[in-house]
Structure formats: structure tokens, C-alpha cells
Structure 1
Amino acid sequence: MNHLIKFFTLSICLLAISCAGNKTQEEANSTEESELPKEEQIEKSLYDEVMAVHDEMMPKMESMMEIKGRLIEMSDSLREAGKATESSVYVSAVDKIEGADEAMMGWMRQFKPNMEGMSHQEKVDYLTTQKNKMDSVKVVMQVAISNGDSLLSN
């Protein structure tokens, strides 16, 4: 019985030591960030904000293209049925989706993650501008998706 208690105690101690040594990725990133100079922390934080919006919206591109395809089908069907006026609403929705797609693609073409040679203030200004642009792209995409979904659900 005494050996069992010692074994159990030793097992718990080893488990506790093992768990204490395993940092989550988030904790490791947080530690890495806190070791950066203050200016680099600000720059990294801004960069992460920009990329968070980008990463949130990229998966919606596929959905947006699926909606576009369905809108085109509806527009074509209505036009073939002699209902050009009703078809134009779907064409307009397709145009919004194409505009949203181009907004994302345009942003990705112009975004330069390598900011070597820039001062801290230039990096902050650049990343702030990029965050604002990406926020605008997000709104354009959300409106286009919502509009397309609305038309297709009627």
C-alpha cells in the first residue's frame, strides 16, 4: 500500500511538471511578443490586425463565387423567359460580387508585408492604412454576399 501511495504521488508530480512545461502556441506567441521592443510589438499587433481581417474574409471568397454562379443562372433564366427587367436585379448583384472580388484581389496585389527600410512611424502609418483598406474590403464583401443571399432566398 505504501508503494502504491509513493507511485501515485510520483505520477502526479511528473504529470504536473510535464504540464507546466507545455506552453500553448498562444502563450508562446505572447511570450515572444513581450520580448520584442515596444515599437516592434506595436508593428506586429497592427500587422496581426490586418491579417486577421484578411484571414476572416478569404474563406468567404469561395462562398461569394458560388452565390455569383447561382445569380447568373437566375438572371439567364429570367432573361430567357422574357423578363429582362427582373433579370437586371440579378445582374446588379453579380456586379457587386465582382466588385467585392476585385476589391480583395486589388488589396492583395498592393499589400507589401516586407517593410524593410521603413521607419517605425512609416510602418505604423502603412499598416493603419492597410487595416482601413481591409476593413473596407470586408464591408464590400459582406454587403455583396448579403445582397446575393437575399435575392436567392426570395
Structure 2
Amino acid sequence: MNQRFLAFAGLLIASGQFYACKSAEDTVKEAENEVFAIHDQIMPKIDDIMKLRKQLNQHITSLDSLKDNGSASATLRTDEEREQAYRIRTNLTIADSLMMDWMGRYNGDTLTKLSSDDALRYLNGQKEQITDVKTKVNTSIEQARQFLGKK
């Protein structure tokens, strides 16, 4: 009976270790899925960034043509508006670049070569980075829409 108990206990311990490994793999996969869920929220917005940059470029061009026909105070307002459009366009460009840089640096292939703890640390860092990118993308898009909506 003692041997049966030990064999059963050994089986439970062994199967527990198997589930612990599987659980760690599942945890890594879940963390990676969270990172890519954020990525997948941002990717469609890259098209919005491109469209908004084009609209801002058109607006800047129209401001340039107005400048030649206005008074000094109108010229000052036009210059201020143009500067604001340039800043917003720059923010859109930065947000787009951050996304492209993140995608270029992300190295999911190494996850299988890392321990579960190291993989989770890597993915947590990636989640922080892609969340920051998401914030910058959303903020720059909102700024551009508000600016262009006033026109």
C-alpha cells in the first residue's frame, strides 16, 4: 500500500509539474496576445494618420495662399495657425514612426528561447511600449481632428 501511495503521489507531483509548465506557456501566450491586441487596435489608425497628414498639408497650402492676400493681423493669425498645423502634423509623423519602430524592434521569435520569467518580462516591457505608442497615436489623431474640425 505504501508503494501505491508513493507511486500515486509521484504521479500527482509529475503531472503537477507538467501543468505548471503548460500554465507558464499559457501565461506567456496570454501576455503576447495582450500585446498584439493593443497592436491590432493601433494598426487601422495608421491609415487615419496618413489621411489626416494629407489634409493638414492641404490646409497648410491653403494658408500659404491666404497669407499673400491679407492684412498684418490676418497674416499673424495665419502664421500662428500654420505653426499649429505643422506641430500637429509633426505629432502624427512621430506617432506613425513610433509604431513602425516598435514593429521593427519587436522580436517574438525569441520568446521560445527565453525562460517563462524572462519572456514575461520582455512582454511586459513590450506592452508598456505599445501602450505608449497607442496613447501617442490616439492623441495625435484627436488633435488633428479637432484642429481640422474647426476649419
Q: Specify the TM-score bucket, using the shorter chain as the normaliser.
A: 0.7 to 0.9
The aligned counterpart of 1:118 is 114
Q: Aligned-pair distance for 1:80?
A: 2.4
Deviations 1:3-31 (A, max 9, x none): xxxxxxxxxxxxxxxxxxxxxxxxxxxxx
Q: TM-score, normalised by structure 1?
A: 0.75
Query: Percent identity, aligned pairs only?
Result: 25
Asked if 1:142 is matched to 2:105, the reply is no
Written as runs of structure 1 = structure 2, the 5 A alignment for 1:5-154 is: 37-82=22-67, 83-114=78-109, 115-154=111-150
Higher relative contact order (CA 8 A, sep 6+): 2
In structure 1, how many angstroms separate the alpha carbons of the residues matched to 2:130 and 2:25?
21
The structure that is helix-richer by fraction is 2
Q: TM-score, normalised by structure 2?
A: 0.76
The amino acid that maps onto 1:149 is R
In structure 2, how many angstroms separate the alpha carbons of the residues matched to 1:98 and 1:54?
17
Q: How many residues align?
A: 120
Q: Aligned-pair distance for 1:85?
A: 2.4
- The 3-state SS of whatever aligns with 1:81 is helix
In structure 2, how many angstroms separate the alpha carbons of the residues matched to 1:87 and 1:109?
33
Q: Aligned-pair distance for 1:79?
A: 2.0
Q: Aligned-pair distance for 1:76?
A: 1.6
The aligned counterpart of 1:12 is none
In structure 2, how many angstroms separate the alpha carbons of the residues matched to 1:56 and 1:99?
18
**Deviation above 2 Å: which 4+ runs of structure 1?**
none
Say if 1:67 and 1:149, in contact at 8 Å, map to a contact too. yes
The amino acid that maps onto 1:59 is P
